Amino acid sequence: MDKKTFIKTFIGAGLCVWALIGTTVRAADEEKTAAEAYGVWVEKSMYGRKYMGIERSTFLIDANGKIAKAWRKVKVPGHAGEVLAAAKDL
């Protein structure tokens, strides 16, 4: 399922999809308040260099605004289907 189809499926189910990725987070959440509240502003490491960055995560929020399910260190293959199935179970 491509990205546009995935988002349309969620919107069609009456759900909202928000993406906080890379520079979008820095622009929208300059103080990193939301990123820290969700626990996604973490220390990362690449080629021995440590730095702070966003952990790829997905949070399914229910109709009451509560986190129904969280996926951490997300890998793309199969993830969209897993999130959609969990959303349908709400």
Q: According to CATH, what is the number of the domain 3-88?
A: 3.40.30.10
Read off the pLDDT band of 70 (50, 70, 90): very high
Task: Calculate ∠ Cα 6-79-2, nearest 5°.
Answer: 30
Q: CA 30 from chain center: how many Å?
A: 18
Amino acid in position 89? D
Q: Dump pLDDT digits (tens) for 15-52.
A: 555 554 444 555 567 788 888 888 989 999 999 999 99
Mean residue pLDDT of the chain comes to: 78
